[in-house]
Amino acid sequence: MPQATPPDNPDMLIGANVSVAKTGLLAAVEETLSYGANTYMIYTRSNRGGKARPITEFHRDEALRIMDEHGIVDPVVHLSYLVNLASPKADTWEYGVSVLREEIERVEYLGFRYIVMHPGSHVGEGQAYAIGRIAEALNDILTGEEKLWLCLETMAGDGSKVGNSLEEIAEIISRVHHHERLGVCIDTCHNYSYGYDVVNDFDGFLQRFDDIIGLERLKVVHVNDSKTPFGSRKDRHANIGEGSLGLEALKRIVHHEALRGIPRILETPGQRYGEEIDLLLDRTRAQAPVTG
Ligand code: FE
Ligand code: FE
Ligand code: ZN
């Protein structure tokens, strides 16, 4: 039983990272409805590795019917953390290539439009090496026939991550032949931690995004507060309104007109997504319109 009704404005796509345990997409959809949300993100395979659960066991058809009924659109799939296309190690790189290739097939079976992936970690080889390595992998994988967008996520600059700056993301894109299949996912926690002041100047950030990458590539937004300060280069998500970004800034971002129709996905701790989405949308459960 939904606790709140999803936003009726189709431009305001908002949801969270939900579970596909047991019943696959049916679980994801049920959890999404409980948050009064209208989109969601899933991982189709465990981040601990192992063989992927067959995608035919995700109850696609029934889930799509319920989604249609409730106006849930444009779910996002996040690629496994175990994929590192920047790795200098052949076995790690090849594993990543095979998992991503398989994930594209799995997501196309589901009929979803977006895969989000972390560009990778250079583990000591440096950004230039890593960018070449990632582009090599994407050139191996992408045929241009894909029906989805592969979205590179901007990172926080922690460890030896690649794709922290907009320039690094643009550089990867420029080296991929079928770059028409590439999009970008921004993450408010990562961007602020890396040193983009999305709190005081989100417009300036978007302007730079447009200049360096092109806003038409912005496909997914991760909405997270941060446990660490501006420029800290750490990746520690905080609950909405409880971190260094704060509720007002995150509200401004979520409601920014440039984000219309783009899935906004929360990846905050503690599964308090319902109350956090309510906060962002100025919605109270008592006010939420009730429908059958
Ligand atoms: Fe991510
Ligand atoms: Fe993220
Ligand atoms: Zn993160």
Query: What does the alpha-carbon distance between residue 206 and residue 229 come to, in Å, rounded to a whole number?
Result: 21
Task: Give ion ligand 1 contacts, CB < 5 A.
Answer: 153
Helices (H), 213-284: 247-254, 273-280
- The percent of residues above 70 in pLDDT, for the chain, comes to 95
Look up 237 and say whether it is catalytic: yes
Compute the distance between CA of residue 83 and CA of residue 88 in angstroms, rounded to an integer. 13
Q: What is the pLDDT of residues 2-23, one digit of tens each?
A: 456 677 777 999 999 999 999 9
Catalytic site includes residue 81: yes
Pairing of strands 76-78, 39-42: parallel
Taking the C-alpha atoms of residue 131 and residue 153, their distance in angstroms, rounded to an integer, is 14
pLDDT digits (tens, 9 = 90+) for 188-200: 999 999 999 999 9
Q: Which residue did the predictor score with more confidence, 292 or 177?
A: 177
Cα(153) to centroid(ligand 1), Å = 6
User: Does 14-281 carry CATH code 3.30.1360.120?
Assistant: no
Using 50, 70 and 90 to split pLDDT, how confident is the model at 286?
A: low
Among candidates 280, 289, 279, 274, which has minimal Cα distance to 36? 274
Q: Where are the domains of the chain?
A: 14-281
Which one from 140, 210, 242, 267 is the annotated catalytic residue?
267
Q: How many residues does the chain have?
A: 292
CA end-to-end span of the chain: 10
The residue among 170 and 284 whose pLDDT is bigger is 170
- Alpha-carbon distance of 143 to 242, in angstroms, equals 43
> Mean pLDDT for the chain?
95
Whole-number Å distance, alpha carbon 267 to ligand 2 midpoint, is 7
